[in-house]
Structure 1
Amino acid sequence: MNYVIRSIRADEWPAAKELRLAALQDPVAHLAFLETYEEAAARPDSFWQERAAGACEGADKAQTIIAEGPDGRWVGTVTVLLEEPGTTDWAGFPVERKQGHVVGVFVRPEERGSGLTEVLFDAALEWAWGRGAERARLIVHEDNGRASRFYRKVGFVPSGLVVPLEAKPDEKELEFVFERP
């Protein structure tokens, strides 16, 4: 592979914005992300600047890791958020131990199947383990078979936790977990 895998820098928010908007145009974006392209595109630059600064190299609560192709174009991303015991997660569930929450997984279609997503996951988990996370978790829509198959392939397993979607009460998301080796 000829990719550079690294954390983003705060000043790279325009590239982070472009890649996120590309992700939200993916055919399964409605299953994979909790926002729409239209919602994200309408956000001001200050939102993207704050988002990049909060998950850039050196940040201690979140990290966005990208894959940069030989031409400098960003071709994949994953973000991991640290969740502390004694808090509640975004869905209101209690966090019982320190964990990395993997979100925002996207690899451009032309790069899929190359092993890049596995490399991004390795980097994300390494970052979380380095900050004391005991496990990693992610949430996947019950109908997102492509993502579920990949997560199982890299060692994540369903925990049994079901996350209802307030905006879509007839749909649900499932938690997958990976225990620290």
Structure 2
Amino acid sequence: MAVSFSVRRTVEDDWPLVRGLRVENATDNPISYGATLETTLAMTEADWRLRARRGQAEDATSLAAVETDTGRWIGMMSAQSHDDDGSDPVLTGVFVSPDRRGRENGVADALLDGILRWALERGATRLRLYVDEHAEPARRFYARHGFVPTGRTRPVGFTAGNTLELVRTLDSAARDGRTR
């Protein structure tokens, strides 16, 4: 049976929950979080408060998927208005707890829908992301949602390997809420 959950923006007071899920993320897959577990554990309360506030920022957002029955945080996605590689919004910090992954649960789909709405509200016509070159399930997920490789790569940085840039055009289907 699929899990019941809601998606909401994070706020500063969520910092302990953001920290908990990001520690789980860095333990499960440091590349998808962008930091080692050691780096993640060394972050201060102020660092976590900043990350939690992104849900209310003008130039960024952070969404959490929260189980209805338990209140457990089971996934997060964030985005920022741009990065050093371009002026299009960038999807970042994608994570779903291993026991809640899969199309039958729909957690990643719901989070991505929220990020796409955020980007469209800002007048964006494209959304970019970077994904680990070896993350086949993630790459299939993004392909299912219309993301295509740009050919640009960048090194992971804290370990060997590269990430691949993918981009999706935000067309009328996305504007109408048909993101899959």
State the 1:111 CA deviation. Answer: 0.8
Over the matched positions of the two proteins, sequence identity in percent amounts to 33
Q: Which residue of 1 aligns with 2:114?
A: 123
State the 1:101 CA deviation. Answer: 0.4
1:68-111 per-position Cα deviation (integer Å, ceiling 9, x unaligned): 1011111111001111xxxx61xxx3x2xx42200110111111
User: Does residue 1:140 correspond to 2:131, yes or no?
Assistant: yes
Instruction: Provide the aligned length of Structure 1 versus Structure 2.
Output: 166
Unaligned runs of 5+ in 1: none
How many angstroms apart in 1 are the aligned matches of 2:33 and 2:106?
22
Task: Determine if contact 1:141/1:174 at 8 Å carries over to the other structure.
Answer: yes
What is the RMSD of the two structures over their aligned residues, measured on CA atoms? 1.6
How many angstroms apart in 2 are the aligned matches of 1:128 and 1:39?
29
More helix by proportion, 1 or 2? 2
Unaligned runs of 5+ in 2: 172-180
Q: Which residue of 2 aligns with 1:101?
A: 90
TM-score (norm 1): 0.85
CA 52–31 in structure 1, closer or farther in 2 if over 3 Å, else same = closer
State the 1:34 CA deviation. Answer: 2.1
SS of 1:56 mapped into structure 2: helix
SS of 1:35 mapped into structure 2: coil
Q: 1:60 aligns with which of 38, 58, 61?
A: 58
How many angstroms apart in 1 are the aligned matches of 2:58 and 2:37?
28
User: Does residue 1:35 correspond to 2:26, yes or no?
Assistant: no
TM-score (norm 2): 0.86
Task: Determine if contact 2:31/2:156 at 8 Å carries over to the other structure.
Answer: no
